[in-house]
Structure 1
Amino acid sequence: MINKTLHHQIYLSYLLITFIALGAIGWYSLSSLHDFLYERTFKDLEARANLVRTQTQDLFQSGQHRRLRQLADELSRAGGMRVTLITKKGKVIADSHRDPLQMDNHATRPEVGQALKGGHGSSQRYSHTLKEDLMYVAVPYRHSGQVTGVVRTALPLTLIHETLEGITYKIALAGLVIALIATPISLFVSRRISRPLLAMKEHAERFAKGDLRSRIHVEGPEDIDNLADALNTMAAQLDDRIRTITAQRNEQEAILASMVEGVIAVDSDEAIISINQSAARFLEVRVEEAQGRSVPEVFRHSQIQQFIREALKSREPVESDLVLDRPDEEHYLQAVGTVLKDAGDTTIGAVIVLNDVTRLRRLENVRRDFVANVSHELRTPITSIKGFVETLLSGALNEPENAERFLQIVAKQADRLNAIINDLLSLSRIEQDSEKEGIVIQKTELRALLETAVQQCNARALGKNIGIEIDCDPALQVALNPPLMEQAVVNLVDNAIKYSGDDTAIRVAAVTAHRQVVVSVKDQGRGIEREHLPRLFERFYRVDKARSRQMGGPDSGLRSSSTSRRRTVAK
């Protein structure tokens, strides 16, 4: 595989250019020298042929063939050339190197043919007579304006070939010397150019990996120095922009992560661009798995999918309440969606904001139930009082026995009504004190407090032959509000007595666990079904209203269910 590094490309390019230049110069020089030598040889042979023609003109015209042969030999030895005399018909009458009688007719020779036409002929070919390459030049004999014969001179091309070979060798040797000198120079120049570029390449790789603080320091041509400065400037600007973008992204992610509201951003193709932790928690998905995936693929809730489609289509903000079915209970989300636009006011998606209003809905339900329960509890004694008063006014006052019984019932119902009102006032006062942090907490011996609370319930317990056991360390002291704690224990014990059968037992215990003190009241009664446990501490909530009234009237049930919320767990 060819090495394609810049250094080798520059180095090889310089060498290739050098060799091509040397080859072109050598070829041109040899070609010019070749043409020059051949042209010079032609001119020399032409001059010699003219000289021979001048010296043999009279003898040729007079037909003295013997004398012509002798003269041809003399001229050949004197000029170092071959001399041939040919008649108009192509017959050789004299030749310096061979017997004319044994030679073929020369009328067909190219140079002879040209001379017989009145011009000067020349040719180069291999001579079978002399067994070597020769250059031939022929000039015509003229008499009275007519061509009467031809004088041909010839020289071997061996000298020219030897001269060209010698010069070729010298040119090749000079080219080799030049190449040897050019090689290190090319290497030096290529390294001088490639080293700064290689350094810039390494720094560019650092830039690509995020190391934008490194700077390029190279020494080279001015253009390369300018390129290095441009890369340094680019790196500094990129570093500043990336830092700004990173800071903005971190701020955005921090804001989205800390938001209670869920935020979802989708593009025009319903692919999720961004989702924060709150939205992922609401919709039971994972942030890293949701990014970049389509809405139907991530969210299995049809209401969410439909709402996102409406937000993408609508030009105005859209709102909707979404209900999510969960195994334990329904969850309610308030959704607001609006289109997402870029700097060019082109719609690129939508952003959805989700608020979990489950607690608000639950509180609304509790409020409605509270109003209904309180209204029912208040209506019962009021209706009873009104009924008996109307009965008395209708004539029952004249019946002493019935009047007294009716008045006792009215008094009892009035006490029930008073207990309900007191509970409402107590709840209001406790909540106000809690908001103002006005509840007084003090160190108290817990066992003494439990004994006082149990004593208040002993009369009812003895009536049903129920034993109450207290299990608490006498030395245990807890930071609490004594009146509220005592009332809470009284309510729990009173409920335990009310809903327990005769001849049973109640156990009041206080144990320490994980730096907390837990007070429990355990009875042997019927208990509460599991579906009612989540609403156990709702105000005035009753599991079974009819049974509550049978077990002691609404006042007891009201007090137990409401004031049980005021138990104090101390640390």
Structure 2
Amino acid sequence: MGKKRLIWQIYPVFLFVIATVLLAVLFYTSHFFRIFYYNQTANDLDIRAQIVKYQIEPMIESGSFSEIDKVCKSLGAAGASRITIILPDGRVIGDSDENPDAMTDHSDRPEFKDAINEGSGISVRFSGTLGKNMMYLAIPIRSAEGETSPNGGQDSKTIAVVRNAVSVTMIDNELAGLHRKILWAGIIIAACTAAISWAVAKRLARPIEQMTETARNFASGDFNHRLSIPDTTELAALAKTLNEMARQLADRIDIIKRDKNETQAILSSMIEGVLAIDYKGYIVSINNAAAELLKIDKTAAHGKSVEEIIRNPQFIEFTENTLTEKQLIEADIPLTDNGGRFLRLHGTALTDSREQKIGAVIVMHDITRIHQLEEIRRDFVANVSHELKTPITSIKGFVETLLDGAMKDPVQIKRFLNIIARHSERLDAIINDLLALSRLEEDDEKRKLSFEEHHLKPVLVSAVELSKIKAEQKNITVELVCDQDITAKINSALIEQAVINLIDNAVKYSPENSTVIVNAQKTPNEIVIKVIDQGCGIERQYLDRIFERFYVIDKARSRKLGGTGLGLAIVKHISGVHGGSVTVESSLGSGSSFIIHLPAD
């Protein structure tokens, strides 16, 4: 299967997302308006039916059925709806469109049954009389007198049913027109968005294509070519890395070529031990430092196998690995029969001009002193751990002893508790020493803060005014909703700063021509200050960390917008010193609401 270009991997995804969102919006809008129109029509029919009910109820009670038909025809012509009056036995005694004597029994109509049994009925169905789809709404007319109920009271009796109906063809026509408008709007939006997506995809793919071509040049040995730096932060970093890689490769190749003939001289002059062997494991060269470290005769070792001269299994295994591995390897080994020394070995294979292995070279470093220092460090860590663990272990042991039965002996209790107290004091002293540096980060200024009863609205008004400059740059409206009588015990300067930070944050991540709302409310338990934006929103996975110092979700965008990662942390700190907290409600693409919770008292 052929490889696809990057743009044809990005662009179809954009189109798919756009199409999916538009189809979902179109479906939801169509469904919503259909329900809305039907509900509105049903409400209108109910109101009209109630009016008809009050006009004909006296006629039904008096038995003036002929007058009822005239009223139906008069009201039906005036209201553009069909009105039908049906007796409980299903007989029609009045209809605005037809002669009631010629109409069939209506007792089987679903809306009639629901009106009799449930107090009202609605039905959308095909009318055989009129030959079109109709919406019917029926309500009962009940008399004040009826049969005696089991509890001795009087149950009302249905004496007729008022049915009001309109054609749903008009509703369908209205919805069809609305659907066409929505469809055309969706098509236009899809076309515009597709064009924008194509431009974005091209812009993303172009620098990568350029980097691919430059990488081919690097692979062919042309390290003089350099990439131009794109505007995108990530691609710019990649371009800079590739340019730096090319420069370093060129420098290293020059160094390798220049130093190739000097290798032997360098190895022979090294103070570290150097051992060279052929591909069969025989010693071909050994310098004085290596002979001294291994305590062997340099002259006698030449031409002998490593196993014959050096009686150390780990060293022998290392030489075998060096001959088989293609890369540099290293290992630390002890020389137990040589005064307890430790060697660090570096081994690499040697190749000829045809890249065929001809042997290996092993460089030896005496790390006995380093090993001793490492032992000292491990001992120190162990001691510190022991100093912390000892009192904890003692406390745990004496507590378990008390729980196992020693609590019945007052003398033992006092003795054990004194021991526990001493170990606790010791542990406390150790912890206090370890936390000394942490105490330096404590904010001593918070102890000097003054909190006074203030009206909250002037503080919020000031914060909004101070934030308007940035908002106006993006034509963003900042609206304030706050009652005049809300008061709180606060440090007004800090609360103002917190609200400014939240407004600035909302403005920063909101689109142009949008609205930011600052809403303050007082409940019996707390005062809530909300800053609501219409921005891009925050994914759920980041909500728990956005109040951490220097934490930003999109570092590139944060730098572009001037964010430092401290604003929300400051808001959290200010809320905390007031005895409150700050929370956030957000979802991707739906804006965000940052909420400061302050105590009501």
Q: TM-score, normalised by structure 1?
A: 0.45
Instruction: Pick 1 or 2: higher relative contact order, CA cutoff 8 A, min separation 6.
Output: 1
**TM-score, structure 2 as length reference:** 0.43
Q: Work out which of the two has the higher radius of gyration on C-alpha atoms and give 1 or 2.
A: 1
